[in-house]
Amino acid sequence: MGSLVAAEALDRRHEVTAIVRHPENLQYDIPFIKKDLYDLKTADLISFDVVVDAFSAPRGAEEQHKTSIEHLISILRGTDLRLYIVGGAGTLYTDESKQTKLYQMPGFPKVVFPTSKNMDDGLNALKKKTTNLSWTYISPSANFIHSTDKSHGYIAGAEVLLNSPSSGQSEITMAEYAVAMLDEIENPKHLNQRFTVVSKQN
């Protein structure tokens, strides 16, 4: 996901710096900082305008979806940087009553549950602990499709899982999600909020 966000930003002629542990795997010839997320300090990021968190915790260490966000909060609080987080669909509510989140539904895949639960804890940390920090948490649709197709466009919502008006499916491609991310970065509409996106058609 980070590579697709970088690609969209480069297409729009933004200056992009990658923060990676393995720069030899970078798909683009761009500046980079070789560092683990947990080793980052305020001084490493202070020269940027925006930080995009596309961190993915390994299976068995899903608590890092929470602790990585808490670390970013601790080093970015009090700065002028804006933090954008690639969130999860499991944290979205299933309907407008906002009583149950997707990962709390019966039959939700057990293998994904720890990731969604810790992503939800990370989101709650943002909502509860962030003073003097500008952040936006973007949740994809339930089916996050690994594709570079961004031809369908997207629809934005708030806290409830969305379905495409044409197909009734909750789907979005990673490339469409990257477009939504850059649109939000360029024209912020959801500061200190979470929102979600779905493809206009599938």
Is residue 175 within 8 A of residue 147, CB to CB? The reply is yes
User: What are 108-133's pLDDT values in tens digits?
Assistant: 999 999 999 999 999 999 998 667 89
Label residue 53 by pLDDT band (50, 70, 90). very high
Number of H helices, E strands in the chain: 5, 9
CA distance 17 to 52: 10
Is residue 179 within 8 A of residue 200, CB to CB? The reply is no
**Local structure of 33: helix, strand or coil:** strand
pLDDT for the residue numbered 129:
65
pLDDT for the residue numbered 130:
67
Average pLDDT over residues 88-111: 94
User: Which long-range contacts does 98-104 make (Cβ < 8 Å, 24+ apart)?
Assistant: 98/159, 98/160, 102/142, 102/161
List the chain domain ranges: 37-199
pLDDT for the residue numbered 201:
76
CATH class of 37-199: alpha beta
Average pLDDT over residues 89-104: 95
CA distance 38 to 191: 24
User: What are 127-182's pLDDT values in tens digits?
Assistant: 986 678 999 999 999 999 999 999 889 999 999 999 988 778 899 999 999 999 99
pLDDT for the residue numbered 14:
97
Average pLDDT over residues 67-82: 95
pLDDT for the residue numbered 87:
95
CA distance 115 to 121: 10
CA distance 47 to 74: 17
Residues for the chain: how many in total?
Answer: 202
pLDDT for the residue numbered 202:
56
Label residue 60 by pLDDT band (50, 70, 90). very high
Per-residue pLDDT at 23 exceeds 60: yes
What percent of the chain is predicted at pLDDT more than 70?
Answer: 99
pLDDT for the residue numbered 128:
87
Pairing mode, if any, of strands 154-157 and 193-199?
A: antiparallel
pLDDT, the chain, mean: 94
- Residue from 200, 112, 120, 109 nearest 163 by CA: 200
